Chains A and B, each alone.
Chain A
Amino acid sequence: MAVIAETPRPAPGLAGAFGKFARRNPTIVLGGALLLATALVAIFAPWIAGNDPRFMAPTNRLQPPSAQFWFGTDNLGRDIFARTVYGARISLIVGLTVAVVSVAIGLAIGLAAGYYRKLDGVVMRVMDGMMAIPAILLAIALVSLNRASVWIVIVAITIPEVPRVVRLVRSVVLTTREQPFIEAAIGGGSRDWKIILRHLLPSTVAPLVVQATYITASAILIEAALSFLGAGVPPEIPTWGNMIATSRLFLARAPWTIFFPGACLALVILAVNLVGDGLRDRLDPRLARRM
């Protein structure tokens, strides 16, 4: 394949180009900035948090936000700011890992099922079966069989997400494979792998990106729900879910204990969805060149 270089245009400068991009895609930039900030906070948590998120100081319990404890303290006197900062790690790890793994597995299965029609019936019935498993019940079952860990949570959330990706990819492949350009590729002597990778895979990218953001958001929420129920990540690790769970008893007396992790959860999910919507609009091939 001849790689054809883009015709060089007078460079408007990096800052100018970014400003233009931001003006055309405010949602991607806003959501992306929020996610980037969250990611930086998660990566540099030990330096940002200031206090040890597990350090208990019963004399300081249920303190309102102050100069010393920016987000206040919880019922055991732990610094909520430090715990919220560390909680971002779990949310992002779970959200991104589930999205990447379920998209990778689902893409491979979906392409195969959509292209090789003989596989389709069997594969899709298995997927229907997997789809019927609720993530939360599966996680509770897995956690009770094994020791609770982040990885168990990731596996439990990934399994029911895979069939959704498979269905999406398969449906895109089924419509794309009827296009005459697929017949043209067969007629041109292209092998299956080239037809799948060059002609079918690219049309799955745009819907998959949107689906991946949705999966990220839903994985973060399910992880929080599992932690809230006590069936997820081990309780000694601070997560937004188990922070909300322990704080709900003190909601009336100390609303800040639930407000900060809850607001972060909502904000991150909003950011993911903003990026998803923005990318969906940008990835339309007819609009792509207007960048």
Chain B
Amino acid sequence: MTGAASAQVLAVEGLKKHFPVQRGLLRRTVAHVQAVDGVSFTIGAGETLCLVGESGCGKSTVGKLILRFIEPTEGRIMLGGTDIASLDPNTMRQYRRNAQMVFQDPYASLNPRLTAGTIVGEPLENFGEMGAAEREQRVAAVLERVGLRAEAMRKYPFEFSGGQRQRLGIARALAVNPALIIADEPVSALDVSVQAQVLNLLMDLQDEFKLAYLFISHDLGVVEHIGHRIAVMYLGKIVEVAPKEALFAAALHPYTQALIDAAPLPDPRVRRERLMIEGDVPSPINPPPGCRFHTRCPFAVARCRTEEPALRETVPGRLVACHLRRNGDVGPLGRQVP
């Protein structure tokens, strides 16, 4: 694992986003969607932190909050030592070269009317402090680095395949030499064969440029391939953070265990014990009191319904938010008395 020892690139502390729900003629705010409700984590240089969870758990919102595509309600976002959470838009603009995004949709994230050269060169226009000829050279170099030919800069996005388009998106993020790349489901729209190529490209680039990745995904197979540490989100909160190997070996939180068990195995003959959870994710407008997972947790006890568990380090290097976990306990989950 590369993360722990190296320099910290991003530290998020108590990040919250509550979207107001407005009703009626006067747009009165009647409730708040607690999309992200107190999320904290750090990422070091050369490290990949994967943020996993179901649809609607707030993982994409976290990525957008860090880049201030939406304004955080509360919390600190330390990017290279500066809290960017409350910067005015103009100052924020200066910091954008340090953190870039690779988007989920390789079609909609590239303006169809611009050539690949213009798309990849746009961040360089804003930050590059270089002339047109120099910029073109830089674009050509970045395109070649992501596995496209330099001549591709003359083409339009529709002339590329899905995988090539995602390479363009990566080239655009890479062009200004950021310290952090936020990748929001960057391979979920691609064919499986292409997914592997793009993931390997991302990993090669990480080794070469010591990039920090926040990798947002719902696909545990992908996460197992690329991640160093994994943070599991449920209903706007992080319920578990652990190094990849440890997490897949033994999940501490029942939700994590259920997520891992829900992933299909490639061998149809293999049978295994699965932790199945039932029901739907509760509404983030009225999240359940206590532990947010207690409505679906097969092990929930009375305390889970009233007292919210804190995210705490029960095993060195591993954080979990569950009343049922005692310090040092990594055994299988069961009905335990806390």
Query: Any chain B CB within 8 A of the CB of A122?
Result: no
Partner of A285, one of B101, B113, B117, B153: B113
A1 touching B125, Cβ below 8 Å: yes
* B109-132 vs A, Cβ < 8 Å mask (1 yes, 0 no): 111111101100111011100001
Does the CB pair B111–A181 fall under 8 Å? yes
B136 at the interface (CB under 8 A from A): yes
Q: Given A183-B69, A202-B113, are A188 and B122 also a contact pair (CB < 8 Å)?
A: yes
Measured between C-beta atoms, what is the minimum distance from B320 to chain A in Å?
A: 33
Contact of A4 (CB < 8 Å), options: B69, B123, B154: B154
Q: For residues 52 through 78 of chain A, which have their beta carbon under 8 Å from a beta carbon of chain B?
A: none
- A4, A179, A188, A191 — which one has the most chain B CB atoms within 10 A of its CB? A188
Cα-based distance from A202 to B113 in the complex (angstroms): 8
Is A291 an interface residue, CB under 8 A from the partner?
Answer: no
Q: In A178-199, which residues have CB < 8 Å from any B CB?
A: 179-181, 183-191, 194, 198-199
B108 CB–A CB distance under 8 Å:
yes
CA distance A235 to B141 in the complex (A): 69
Cross-chain contact B105 with A180 (CB below 8 angstroms): yes
State whether A180 touches B109 (Cβ < 8 A).
Answer: yes
Question: Taking each of A1, A194, A285, which has the highest tally of chain B beta carbons within 10 Å of its own beta carbon?
Answer: A1
B125: chain A residues at CB < 8 Å are 1, 190
Asked, given contacts A2-B136, A180-B103, A184-B172, whether A189 binds B123 with beta carbons under 8 Å apart, the answer is yes
Nearest chain B CB to A37 CB, angstrom units: 33
Say yes or no: is B158 at the interface (Cβ < 8 Å to chain A).
yes
Q: Which of A7, A190, A286 has the most CB of B within 10 A?
A: A190
Given contacts A185-B122, A190-B126, contact A285 B112 (CB under 8 A): yes
Separation in Å of the B75 CB from the closest CB of chain A? 19
Contact of B109 among A2, A184, A194, A202 (CB under 8 A): A184
For residue A180, which residues in chain B have a CB less than 8 angstroms away from its CB?
103-105, 108-109
Judging by beta carbons under 8 Å apart, are B122 and A4 in contact? no
Give min CB distance, A219 to chain B, whole Å: 29
Q: Which residue of B lies closest to A181 (CB)?
A: B111
Given contacts A7-B154, A181-B108, contact A189 B126 (CB under 8 A): yes
Give the shortest distance, in Å, between A89 (CB) and chain B (any CB).
Answer: 37
Q: Distance (Å) between the CB of B117 and the closest chain A CB?
A: 5
Residues of A close to B121: CB separation below 8 A: 1-2
Q: Which of A155-192 contact B (CB under 8 A)?
A: 179-181, 183-191
**Is the contact region of chain A dominated by helix, strand, or loop, or is it mixed?**
helix
Q: How distant is the Cα of A164 from the Cα of B111 in the complex, in angstroms?
A: 26
Residues of chain A lying within 8 A (CB to CB) of residue B69: 183, 186-187
Whether a CB of chain B sits under 8 angstroms from the CB of A203 is yes
Q: How far is the CA of A202 from the CA of B156 in the complex (A)?
A: 15
Contact of B123 among A179, A183, A188, A198 (CB under 8 A): A188
Do the beta carbons of A2 and B67 come within 8 Å of each other? no
Q: Given contacts A188-B122, A188-B172, is CB(A4)–CB(B153) below 8 Å? A: yes
B113, B126, B135: the one within 8 Å of A188 (CB): B126
In Å, the complex CA distance between A58 and B333 comes to 109
A1: chain B residues at CB < 8 Å are: 118, 121, 125, 132
Which residues of chain B come closer than 8 Å to A179, judged between CB atoms? 108-109, 111
Q: Nearest-CB distance from A153 to chain B (Å)?
A: 37
**Chain B positions within 8 Å of A183 at CB level:** 64, 69, 101, 103, 109
Known A-B contacts A186-B69, A187-B100, A202-B113; the reply to A2 vs B118 at CB < 8 A is: yes
Q: CB-defined interface of B85-101 with A at 8 Å, one 1/0 digit per residue?
A: 00000000110110011
Task: Tell yes or no: B51 within 8 A of A by CB.
Answer: no
A248-291 interface bits toward B, Cβ cutoff 8 Å, 1 = contact, 0 = none = 00000000000000000000000000000000000001100100
**Cβ of B150 to closest chain A Cβ, rounded Å:** 12
Answer whether residue B139 sits at the interface, using C-beta atoms and an 8 A cutoff: yes
Per the bound structure, the CA–CA distance linking A4 and B101 in Å amounts to 26
- What 1/0 flags go to B156-175 for Cβ under 8 Å of A? 10100000000001001000
Contact B67 A4 (CB under 8 A): no
- Sample of 15 more A-B contacts, CB < 8 Å, known A2-B121, A4-B154, A188-B123: A1-B118, A1-B121, A1-B125, A2-B139, A180-B103, A187-B69, A187-B96, A188-B172, A189-B94, A189-B96, A198-B114, A199-B111, A202-B113, A285-B158, A286-B158
The 4 A-B residue pairs with the shortest CB-CB distance, nearest first, are A188-B123, A189-B126, A180-B109, A189-B96
A sample of 24 cross-chain residue pairs with beta-carbon separation below 8 angstroms, ordered by A number, consists of A1-B118, A2-B132, A2-B135, A2-B139, A4-B117, A180-B103, A183-B64, A183-B101, A184-B101, A184-B110, A185-B111, A186-B69, A186-B96, A187-B100, A187-B101, A187-B123, A189-B93, A189-B123, A189-B126, A189-B127, A189-B176, A190-B122, A191-B93, A286-B158
